[in-house]
Structures are given as C-alpha cells and as structure tokens.
Amino acid sequence: MNMKKILITNNYTGVPREIVFGLAPEGFCVETVSANTREALMEQVQDADYILASGRLKLDGEVLSHAKKLKMIQRTGVGLDSIDLEYLKTSSIPLYVNQGINAQSVAEHALLLMLACLRKLTVINANTKAGVWKKQEQGVQTYELHGKTVGIIGMGNIAKRLVALLKPFGVHILYYNLFRESEEYECENCMQFVSIEELIGAADIISINCALTDETRDLINADRIAMMKDGAIIINTARGGIVNAADTAAALASGKLAFVGMDVHESEPIAEDYPLKAMDNTILTPHIAGVTHDAFSAMIRDAFRNIALFDKGELEAIAGSKYI
C-alpha cells in the first residue's frame, strides 16, 4: 500500500532533522525539500498529500496549483506571510495553525533582547574579552528594566506571554492593538491602551509583536522614529518588514536610538550590505526566537498530530486550529 506523503517545506539538517524524523507519524512518508529553493519545492509538491509549511519558501498560487493531491496544509509556527491565503480561500484546501505553540519561547527571547540592550551586553562582553575593565564607566551607561515604560504593538499570544514576564519588573506597559483588552486585564498588568502615536512618543522600549500586513509594512520608519524618545530601544521578534532597517540604522548612528534587538529581518539570511549588520548598538539573531529545543519539538509534534488526525477525519473535533 502506498503511504501518504507529508512534504515539509524546509531542508532540515543535523539535530532539527533528527527531531523531525524522530516525531514522524507512523503510516506516512515524510520528506523535506531537497534544497531551500522554489525549484525543489515545485518538483516535490506535485505528489504531496499534506504540506507541513515551515521555513521561508513561498507557498503561492503557482506552487499550490501543482499540488494536485493536496488535502491540507499545516503550519509549524504562526506566521502566514509565506502562504497565499487568497488562493486557499478559492480552493478546497484547509489550513491549520497551532496558535501560541511557540509563544513562550518568543516572549522569553523578546525579554532577553530588552535586558541585553539595556545592559549593552554585547558591547561590554566584547570589551571585557578585549581586556577593557572600566567598571563604573561602563556600568553607568547601562540601565535597569524596572520603572521603564514598555510599548507593545500587537497583543496576541506572544505579547500576552511577554506581559506576564514583564510583570515582576515593575514596568508600565502601553499597548496598541486592533482590539482593546478588558479593564480587569489592563489593571492587573499595569497596562494602558493608547494610539500608536502615543505609544511611540512615550515608550522607553518598543516591542513589535504584530503581524506583517500591507498596513504594518514599514510601520517603524524615519517619521515614527523621529517621534520617539531620545535613547529609545526597539525590539522586533515579529517580522522584519515592519521595521525599516535603513531608517533604524540612521537613527542608531545619530544617537536618536540607543540600541535595537532584531530577531527578524526583511531579507533572511541577512545580506552583506544589511545596514544594521556593522553597528555596535544592535543585537541581531537569526529568526531564532521561536526555535528553542522545547518549542521546535512541540511545533513538529503537534503539527504531525494534526495531520494524522485530519487523515482519520478526527481533527475538527479533537485538536487543531483551523485558519481557513
């Protein structure tokens, strides 16, 4: 009997590959793309029964039109900007997303970046290793998180986890979202619902936690940076296209911004001429916030579970979050 094929749209190697194949469900043929290229995806998608969407390869209408046997798409994470949602709406192909599966991991990374930027950790680490021992001189140029105003743009699963992590630090939180949270939730977490202009003008630290859409692309640009406090910090664990890298680099060079922590970037991997790459007052990580061992294992396990349940006709009643 021919086994049904699950195509993973990423070319996993090393430990990630071991985790993936160690969790593969029985009774299915699991493949990863042979290379992270559109050509490999186009070839291998043709006989796929299921797609486990991972990585940055685009599942656009042309690619999906070649998947003649496709029954369902399961996303490993929560970002949907690599999937042609309009095509799916006109087809009979359902899309499932396990909401919040890596929210704790991303929230912890956002907090890590905040603390590292405030304490200029990368700069001081490099200085210490180079033999620079200027304790007071360096120390007084760093700051505590306690008492700061943190502005959070977007209030989804990740942002709510971040709010919980921030609570013990005694910060004041401003947030902007399409929908307002309950008065009780705001009160419990020392939060205030404001316009994006108010948030940008008042926050010491701005955390980007919204989706990338036509409305949010270049949301943080030169005009909005000019509205920020001198010495503000920007943290982005959402999508690179939300923050204009060139405008941010110029603000870092001028001293308008003190530091930025970026886990996501407009082009991934980053290009040689990426404007934030050579700056000392940046911390750059490779879209890794949601990929701890714990989170990655949970994402893969739950994604395979959903596919196996869907194949048996049991997913709607038992598990999974249907997006389309």
Is the same domain home to 273 and 132?
yes
Is the same domain home to 252 and 131?
yes
Is the same domain home to 235 and 171?
yes
pLDDT tens sequence across 215-242: 999 999 999 999 999 999 999 999 999 9
Is the same domain home to 50 and 180?
no
Instruction: Supply the range of the domain harboring residue 243.
Output: 103-284
Is there a domain that residue 179 lies in? yes
Is the same domain home to 119 and 227?
yes
Is the same domain home to 38 and 87?
yes
Average pLDDT of the segment spanning 85-104:
91
Is the same domain home to 13 and 128?
no
pLDDT tens sequence across 253-280: 999 999 999 999 999 999 999 999 999 9
Is the same domain home to 10 and 23?
yes
What residues have CB less than 8 Å from 40, skipping those under 6 apart?
11, 33, 34
Q: What is the pLDDT confidence band of residue 77, given thresholds at 50, 70 and 90?
A: confident
Is residue 319 scored above 80 in pLDDT? no
Is the same domain home to 86 and 213?
no
At 24 the pLDDT is: 96
Is residue 62 scored above 90 in pLDDT? yes
pLDDT tens sequence across 115-169: 999 999 999 999 999 999 999 999 999 999 999 999 999 999 999 999 999 999 9
pLDDT tens sequence across 162-211: 999 999 999 999 999 999 999 999 999 999 999 999 999 999 999 999 99
Is there a domain that residue 120 lies in? yes
Is the same domain home to 79 and 206?
no
pLDDT tens sequence across 6-51: 999 999 999 999 999 999 999 999 999 999 999 999 999 999 999 9
pTM score of the predicted model: 0.92
Helix, strand, coil shares, percent, the chain, to 5: 40, 20, 45
* Distances 8 to 30, 36, 293 between C-alpha atoms, Å: 7, 11, 18
Is residue 74 scored above 60 in pLDDT? yes
At 29 the pLDDT is: 97
Number of C-beta neighbours around residue 97 at 10 A = 23
Catalytic residue numbers? 239, 268, 287
At 316 the pLDDT is: 72
Is there a domain that residue 324 lies in? no
Identify residue 276 by its one-letter amino acid code.
L
Is there a domain that residue 54 lies in? yes
Is the same domain home to 84 and 145?
no
Is the same domain home to 53 and 147?
no
Is there a domain that residue 323 lies in? no
Q: What is the pLDDT confidence band of residue 321, given thresholds at 50, 70 and 90?
A: low
Is there a domain that residue 93 lies in? yes
At 1 the pLDDT is: 59
* Distances 209 to 156, 160, 266 between C-alpha atoms, Å: 7, 10, 15
Chain-centroid distance of CA 139 in Å reads 31
Is there a domain that residue 298 lies in? yes
Is residue 102 scored above 60 in pLDDT? yes
Any idea what the CATH number is for the domain that residue 32 is in? 3.40.50.720
Domain tally for the chain?
2
Are 135 and 115 in contact by the 8 Å Cβ rule? The answer is no
